[in-house]
Amino acid sequence: MSRAKTVWTMRRRKPGLEAGHVHGRRRGAPARLLAGAALLAAGLGAGAPAGAETLTFSVMASGTYDKAAAGLAPAFEARTGAKTVIAAFPWAILRQNNITDVVTGTNQYQVMSGGFYLVDIYPHFVPLGDRIKQDKLADGMIPGLMDPGRSEYFNGQQIGFPYGTDVYGVMVNDDLLKRAGVEASFKTWSDFLAACPTIESKLPGVACFSHPTGSPEQISAIFLGAYAGTFINAAGRYELDTAKAAAAGKLLAELWKHLPKQGSAMSFDEANAAFRDGKAAMLVTWPSFANKFLDEDASPIKGHWHQVSFPGPGFPYLSQWQLFLVDSAPDKDLAWAWIKTFAGPENARQNYERFGIGSPWKALYEDPELKAAHAHDWPARLADLPRAQNPVLSGEALDFLNNTLQDIANGRVSPEDGVAAINAAWANFPVPPTLMETARSVGAVAAR
């Protein structure tokens, strides 16, 4: 096999895209999916030279995962002789492209990056259990991360291999909260909300918190933390507990009153900057999108902030990026070799330090030097990890939830009417059997 040049195609990332979804089958796909088929070629480079084997990896264009993949590709090519194509797309396009690639039988990607929202194409992913066992990879993984509800399973077999592990977090400005006389310990989101008037009265011109509100899918992270109800009724259909969901919606609407000025449409970068520059006393976001920025030498709050445990009574949102080996891959050993190269423990420290990619590997967090440098953020993150999980929702159900929560938070609809609209729409969304298995295991199904 001849060696060829790496092709790294990166699309501009929409500000703040990190999590969300779509569906279909290989045959008879809906027109809305087939309409996206033309996007598939957009991120792919020129064809491989005659006789060269090609490994194409679809990944989110975020300036993190895609850059890490591009940095590892040349050495992988040199070792395997395979042309390595990094097809990078903003999250919404990535999700569509992954599904459309399978639905249409285009089969351009041998390894896909994604998560639970790819549930409708799970039958086309190769079970990885034997390969994981053969390479003893479970031995070095943080306990629980390859369990159902965190890693992806189909028919009882693990099909997803974790590589980018992050848990939604709350960061606090130590100096500002001390001046406000607020203890940075919030058991519930009601406790968090109760602190906001005190912070803003004691610190004129400072907002209680900032959040990437301009990305509609991010609002569910706070809702999931504030909501302690089920997501599927006893009949096996999607349905929120009306009273508990309305209470969480009311809390969102109150929280939104304590954002910075023009704070209801902030990008990730804008939310991070507001916190770094002292315009917000707290920040609610994905740590992997903020911590490196906050700890730069030029950051005025370097050494003056820390992460606290995510409030309840619900659960912290888990971002557990997975790698999937597609069943149409002509060389599955090559595809698995890429999965181990990109997601394996050997590159965990480099991926974390250079790109901020949260690692699923125990060794990273046990490194004495790194552990000391991250005494302000790692303890809370690692403490939250065991209770973090993905929502047991299909892409359609999660999208409708996020859009309606935006209407509730911004006062366009009452919490009660919004929850009623969610449940009415959800009644038409089937619960995929694979998600039902997970939902039962995490207590997300209402008792009969």
pLDDT band per the 50, 70, 90 thresholds, residue 23: very low
Higher pLDDT, 371 or 29: 371
Model pLDDT, residue 289:
87
Higher pLDDT, 319 or 409: 409
Model pLDDT, residue 51:
42
pLDDT at position 98 over 70: yes
pLDDT band per the 50, 70, 90 thresholds, residue 438: confident
How many of the other CB atoms lie within 10 Å of CB of 120?
20
Model pLDDT, residue 80:
95
Residue 200 included in any domain: no
DSSP state letter for 259:
S
d(CA 251, CA 245): 10
pLDDT band per the 50, 70, 90 thresholds, residue 13: very low
d(CA 30, CA 67): 33
Residue 349 included in any domain: yes
The enclosing H or E element of 305 equals strand 305-308
Bin 411: left if φ > 0, else alpha if -120 < ψ < 50, else beta.
left
DSSP state letter for 124:
G
pTM tops 0.85? no
DSSP E strands: which ranges in 182-333? 207-210, 280-285, 305-308, 318-325
d(CA 190, CA 206): 20
Residue 161 included in any domain: yes
Alpha carbon dihedral 343, 219, 258, 191, in 10-degree steps, equals: -80
- Are 202 and 179 in contact by the 8 Å Cβ rule? The answer is yes
Model pLDDT, residue 119:
85
Model pLDDT, residue 85:
96
* Exposure on the CB side of residue 367, measured as CA atoms within 13 A: 16
d(CA 262, CA 279): 12
pLDDT at position 38 over 50: no
DSSP state letter for 153:
E
Model pLDDT, residue 212:
96
Model pLDDT, residue 48:
37
Quick one: which of 264, 262, 256, 276 has its CA closest to 208?
256
Give residues with Cβ within 8 angstroms of 143, minimum separation 6. none
Mean pLDDT of the chain: 87
- Are 208 and 195 in contact by the 8 Å Cβ rule? The answer is yes
Model pLDDT, residue 52:
53
d(CA 243, CA 250): 11
Higher pLDDT, 271 or 146: 271
Mean pLDDT of all residues in 299-326: 96
Name beta bridge partners: 137. Answer: none
Residue 313 included in any domain: no
pLDDT at position 355 over 90: no
Query: pLDDT tens digits for 200-209?
Result: 999 999 999 9
Mean pLDDT of all residues in 322-330: 96
pLDDT at position 43 over 60: no
Model pLDDT, residue 32:
39
Number of domains present in the structure of the chain: 1
d(CA 340, CA 361): 13
Mean pLDDT of all residues in 317-322: 90
- Are 347 and 419 in contact by the 8 Å Cβ rule? The answer is no
d(CA 275, CA 305): 10
Concatenating the DSSP letter of every residue in 365-419 gives HH-HHHHHHTTTTHHHHHHHGGG-B-----HHHHHHHHHHHHHHHTTSS-HHHHH
Concatenating the DSSP letter of every residue in 4-25 gives ---EEEEPPPPTT--S------
Residue 416 included in any domain: no
Separate counts of helices (H) and strands (E) for the chain? 18, 12
Residue position matching structure tokens 């004495």? 368
Mean pLDDT of all residues in 213-231: 96
DSSP state letter for 445:
B
Could you give the maximum distance between any two Cα atoms of the chain, in Å?
69
pLDDT at position 3 over 90: no
Residue 194 included in any domain: no
Residue 282 included in any domain: no
Mean pLDDT of all residues in 291-311: 96
- What is the domain range of residue 134? 7-166+318-381
Residue 445 included in any domain: no
Mean pLDDT of all residues in 142-168: 89
pLDDT at position 172 over 70: yes
Query: pLDDT tens digits for 54-65?
Result: 999 999 998 889
- Are 360 and 140 in contact by the 8 Å Cβ rule? The answer is no
CATH (domain of 57): 3.40.190.10
Concatenating the DSSP letter of every residue in 323-362 gives EEEBTT-S-HHHHHHHHHHHHSGGGHHHHHHHH-PPP-BH
Roughly how many angstroms between the first and final C-alpha of the chain, as a whole number?
59
